[in-house]
Structure 1
Amino acid sequence: MKAIPHQYSFRFHNLGIGDIQLGKKPEQIPGMLPFPSYTGKHYFRVYPDAAHYHAFNGSARGTIEKDDPGIDLQHLLTGINENGFINRIFLYPLVPNEQLAWRLSQLYGEPLTGKAQSGEQNTWITESETEVTLFNPADNKTANTVISFRFFYDFSALKEYIIEGST
């Protein structure tokens, strides 16, 4: 009989979720592995290259509040800068949730909301000067819904660290 994998529960905060946070080295976080070793790597195209990414190897859930049922994550990826520190966090929910923006607003406050090229984007700037972004595609495809974290003034993290879903 195959063992059921352990599910990790991470609490959302201003720098990421749980121990997976901006400014930390992925090698310090249990369950993180280099992107080329990640079994789900074929779902993504990463820029500038795979060496700048790590992935969480396990079943993960993000919780917003103490009694929150959580958001099951299909993928949890991090970008690392040239010094090896996490500068982007990408969370891909397993199931689309129309209440996700509302739930994140309970923690981060009122978002800036706008239309993106192919969907809707909600953005929060935290007291820690972190930008938290929720992108929901217009067609509600689960794989394209993403929550990302970056330091607000880290423009290279915004412009150079990009993940695209591949088919």
Structure 2
Amino acid sequence: MKPTPQQHSFRFNHLGIGDIQLGKRPEQLYGMLPFDHFMGRHTFDVFPATSLYHVFDGDLKCTIESRDTGLELRHLFASTNEEGFINRIFLYPREVNKHLVSRLSQLYGEPEICKSTVAGKLVGTQSLWVTEGETEVSLFSPVYETSINTVISFRFFYDVPALKDYLIAVSI
């Protein structure tokens, strides 16, 4: 039985989107399945191990406020720490527009903005918000191929291993 569209619409909050939140166990959340069962798993390289990742199975739309038309997601990944709790959430929007930073700022306040460079060449912009709940929400917007590599992520602000050790890369 296919879920109703309402079940696939989640609202942004300080810990993630809808019930998919930092600190929860992914196997207890509707629609989450282990990364190894994800048909598109070969498109992504995940670190430190695939066994620590789950993916949302199905179409997904996120809203920032109730009047919002929503942001359709291509992918949602959640990584877990060694205890099995979500320590990082990665959202990959289907389409990106220049208003995404201002839309997220409506909920999280003014971001800190940094330029990302590799070998002296600008590759993108990182917008960072630290919420009242001590989580960090980040939006990476690449200079090129924005619809493929734009990612919104959530992590607890003081969880440095989630920031440094838990990464996703698109396989070429």
Mapped to 2, the partners of 1:5 and 1:45 lie a distance apart of 29
> 2:158 maps to what in 1?
153
Which runs of 5 or more residues in structure 1 are unaligned? none
State whether residues 12 and 64 of structure 1, in contact with CA within 8 Å, keep that contact through their aligned partners in structure 2.
yes
Any idea what SS the aligned residue of 2:27 has?
Answer: helix
Encode CA deviations 1:118-139: one digit per residue, 9 max, x unaligned. Answer: 2001000000000000000011
> 1:122 maps to what in 2?
127
Encode CA deviations 1:61-94: one digit per residue, 9 max, x unaligned. Answer: 1100010000000000000000000000000000
Aligned pairs for 1:13-92 (under 5 A) are 13-92=13-92
> 2:98 maps to what in 1?
98
Q: 1:141: Cα distance to partner?
A: 2.8
Any idea what SS the aligned residue of 2:65 has?
Answer: coil
Q: 1:4: Cα distance to partner?
A: 8.2
Q: 1:152: Cα distance to partner?
A: 0.2
| Aligned alpha-carbon RMSD (Å) | 1.4
- Label 1:5 to 1:138 Cα distance change in 2 as closer, same or farther (>3 A): farther
% identical aligned pairs = 56
* TM value normalised by structure 2: 0.92
Write the letter of the residue equivalent to 1:100: L
Mapped to 1, the partners of 2:127 and 2:111 lie a distance apart of 6
4+ aligned runs moved over 4 Å, structure 1: 3-6
Any idea what SS the aligned residue of 2:82 has?
Answer: coil
Any idea what SS the aligned residue of 1:103 has?
Answer: helix
Any idea what SS the aligned residue of 1:110 has?
Answer: coil
Write the letter of the residue equivalent to 1:156: P
* TM value normalised by structure 1: 0.95
Q: 1:98: Cα distance to partner?
A: 1.2
- Label 1:67 to 1:153 Cα distance change in 2 as closer, same or farther (>3 A): same
Mapped to 2, the partners of 1:96 and 1:129 lie a distance apart of 26
State whether residues 6 and 58 of structure 1, in contact with CA within 8 Å, keep that contact through their aligned partners in structure 2.
no
Mapped to 2, the partners of 1:44 and 1:5 lie a distance apart of 26
Any idea what SS the aligned residue of 2:69 has?
Answer: coil
Any idea what SS the aligned residue of 2:36 has?
Answer: helix
